[in-house]
Chains A and B, each alone.
Chain A
Amino acid sequence: MAKYILRRIVYMLITLIIIATATFFLMKLLPGSPFSSIGAKLTEEQEAILLEKYGLDEPLPVQYAKYMVNMAQGDLGVSFQYNNRPVTDIILDRLGPSAHLGAQALIIGTILGIILGMIAAIRHNTWVDYSSNILAVIGISIPSFVFAGLLQYYFAVKWQIFPPSFWEGPIYTVLPTIALMIFPMAVCARFMRTEMLEVLGSDYIELARAKGVKSTSIMFKHAMRNALIPVITVLGPMTVSLMTGTLVIEQIFAVPGLGEQFVRSINENDYPVIMGTTMLFSVLFISIILIVDLLYGLIDPRIRVSGGKD
């Protein structure tokens, strides 16, 4: 098992190096100078000074080598916009609210979705099942920013139950969390329902019934675990889409998170910050995939063994 994890981590590093290289050169391909958007027209002389200051006058391979070495040491360079603030500082500053919001939405959404899916499967073909199905379809097909807008309008502006924006305490997290968790909840509910129905129709559930096991024990001890295995596979992609969702949700609710910063940096051509954020997102994506795979093995003994053998 340790060997398996180690090998996966090596693969992760290789993937990251490739992503870093690709982003670096893609950014170099972008037209124009990073300083063209600052506003004031720069003279050629001024621009040359700036280019030298940020090391942009050196040959490309040298720039690349420096960038990679610095990054390996955790230094993502300095921002073009915020008075030379290190990118790592900017990111760390912004990470807190994003992580909080994302984790909260993911955890609550997943758990509620799983419960909803189970109830729908148990009450298969009743109004409970039908209505949870309709809710799930709505949750999957309508993008989160629509919910965000609606929630903000009704619960913040019209009825004034929750604050409309900013990030100053638990109550401020309610609306953005709900807006963000609807999608994972709907996906989990649908998946869980399908899997649960499949599992409930399987031979081993019938054998459990033939053993005299109570219906509730059958649900929780026999069916749930088996139904969860395929659900875990969607957790990875779902988390990724949730992270993209935060980009917009943070804008709408003015949450001072990474997403809001990312959108701003793109508007301002602040390349070091864009790259740093991209790298962070990549690390997160890849780690999530690894964690999901490990989780999968933890819950499914068939995978655990083959994972341990190689």
Chain B
Amino acid sequence: MSPVLEVKNLHVHFETYGGTVQAVRGVNFELNEGETLAIVGESGSGKSVTSKSLMGLIPRPNGKIVEGEILFENQDLAKLKEKELQKMRGKDISMIFQDPMTSLNPTMKVGKQIMEVLMLHQKLSKKEAKKRAIELLDLVGIPFPDKRVDQYPHQFSGGMRQRVVIAIALACNPKVLIADEPTTALDVTIQAQILELMKDIQKKMNTSIIFITHDLGVVANVADRVAVMYAGKIVEIGTVDDIFYNPKHPYTWGLIGSMPTVDSQEEKLYAIPGTPPDLLYPPKGDAFALRSNYALAIDFEEAPPMFKISDTHSAATWLLHEDAPNIEPPKAVKLRMEGMAKGAGGDMNGDVNNE
């Protein structure tokens, strides 16, 4: 099975007054049909920039994809012109944003905001589009859709607005849905409902989802595979089981270690020391080395390549080199891994600490 979307060696830079911010520094991943790939990492690690590049939404003129390919249906999205990107956006790939309170146009009826995308890409008439908009509102679980379709966003709660945004994103049956922290701004109960809705719809429509989050609890709930991002790079990628039960990168250890679980409430949470590097001047070698207890001399000299651990699992750390000393994850992390294996995670609604 060939992947729906393939990102190869993606580099994105921003020109700022202070210099060039290297927001994304060589990202590689594939997205398979019908799967959910989670991208996790602290804020500032380049998750949003990566996802925006996939849609050609990097703010111009200061932002730019300087290198790499985004292969989708035999074309390289990184090389498309704005006009061609417009045809693709919202139809083949669509996006859900973090804050439902601000992502709908306050002066446009909710129905019209859904109809717009239908009339644009599917060339529906106004009447057909409205009918379809009502169906979509129903699909995303909004009661009285035929009444709600004529209302304005301020008449909807946050959770309901996010459902509307999902309806907009799904209107044209996209092959890829990018959800950039879609539940971060919502209450825990609403969060769970939105996640259920997304899983439900994915089953019905077989959409491939890129799910961006800094919440590992959410990852365990929705994802098939996980990519861990740090300082503009993917440092570890694998199935949910690979990442949660057999993590290899010290940064992933840190993320798992800092995740609160029910039976670890009393214990002191493990926190990753230090702060992420300044992407204006990314460090030489492994960007995580300065914060890692397991850094080797070579980490400060040369960035590690991706080492393959299994068919599904790889990680970029020199610890996986055959000459490296054999290092086990810290005790706190091991305990948590074991806890998760036992209780299938328990309640994993924790945040990554350093957000």
Contacts and interface: CB of A to CB of B under 8 A. Distances in A.
Asked whether A and B interact, the reply is yes
Interface of A: 202-204, 206-215, 221-222, 225-226, 229, 299-302, 305
B116 interface: yes
A211 B104 contact: no
A226 B107 CA distance: 7
A212, A225, A302 — most chain B CB neighbours (10 Å): A212
Contacts of B55: 210
A141 B87 CA distance: 46
Contacts of A214: 86
Interface in B71-98: 82, 85-91, 94-95, 97
B123 to A, nearest CB: 13
Interface of B: 55, 57, 82, 85-91, 94-95, 97, 99, 102-108, 116-117, 120-121, 152, 154-155, 165, 168
Contacts of A209: 57, 89
A206, A207, A215, A225 — most chain B CB neighbours (10 Å): A207
Contacts of A215: 82
A206 B90 contact: no
A225 to B, nearest CB: 5
A203 B120 contact: no
Contacts of A213: 86, 90, 116-117, 120
B103 A207 contact: yes
Given A210-B94, A212-B85, A225-B107, 20 more contacts: A202-B102, A203-B103, A204-B103, A204-B105, A207-B103, A207-B105, A207-B165, A208-B105, A210-B55, A210-B90, A211-B89, A211-B94, A211-B116, A211-B120, A212-B89, A213-B86, A213-B90, A213-B120, A222-B105, A302-B106
Nearest to A208: B105
A206 B97 contact: yes
B97 A211 contact: no
A208 B165 CA distance: 11
Nearest to B86: A212
Nearest to A229: B107
A213 B87 CA distance: 9
A50 to B, nearest CB: 61
B98 to A, nearest CB: 8
Given A204-B104, A229-B107, A301-B154, A212 B91 contact: yes
A216 to B, nearest CB: 11
B152 A302 contact: yes
Contacts of B105: 204, 207-208, 222, 226
Contact of A211 (B90, B106, B154): B90
Given A210-B89, A210-B94, A302-B106, A203 B99 contact: yes
A212 B87 contact: yes
A230 B285 CA distance: 51
B264 to A, nearest CB: 36
Nearest to B89: A212
21 contacts: A203-B99, A204-B105, A204-B106, A206-B103, A207-B95, A209-B57, A210-B89, A210-B94, A210-B97, A211-B89, A211-B168, A212-B85, A212-B120, A212-B121, A213-B90, A213-B120, A214-B86, A215-B82, A226-B105, A226-B106, A305-B152
Nearest to B104: A204
B165 A302 contact: no
A222 to B, nearest CB: 5
A212 B154 contact: no
Contact of B88 (A204, A208, A212, A225): A212
A301 B154 CA distance: 9
Contact of A222 (B91, B103, B108): B108
A224 B106 CA distance: 12
A210 B57 contact: yes
Given A204-B105, A222-B108, A212 B90 contact: yes
8 tightest CB-CB pairs across the interface, nearest first?
A212-B89, A212-B90, A211-B90, A203-B102, A301-B152, A210-B95, A203-B103, A204-B105
Contacts of A208: 105, 116
Given A207-B165, A210-B55, A212-B120, A300 B86 contact: no
A78 to B, nearest CB: 51
B107 A299 contact: yes
Contacts of A226: 105-107
B97 A207 contact: yes
A300 B168 contact: no
A171 to B, nearest CB: 41
A211 B57 CA distance: 11
A213 B120 CA distance: 7
A215 B83 CA distance: 10
B55, B86, B168 — most chain A CB neighbours (10 Å): B86
Nearest to A201: B59
B285 to A, nearest CB: 35
Contacts of A206: 57, 97, 103
A204 B116 CA distance: 13
A76 B108 CA distance: 48
Nearest to B83: A214
Contacts of A207: 95, 97, 103-105, 165, 168
A209 B89 CA distance: 8
A225 B165 CA distance: 21
Given A207-B168, A210-B95, A301 B57 contact: no
Nearest to B87: A212
A198 to B, nearest CB: 12
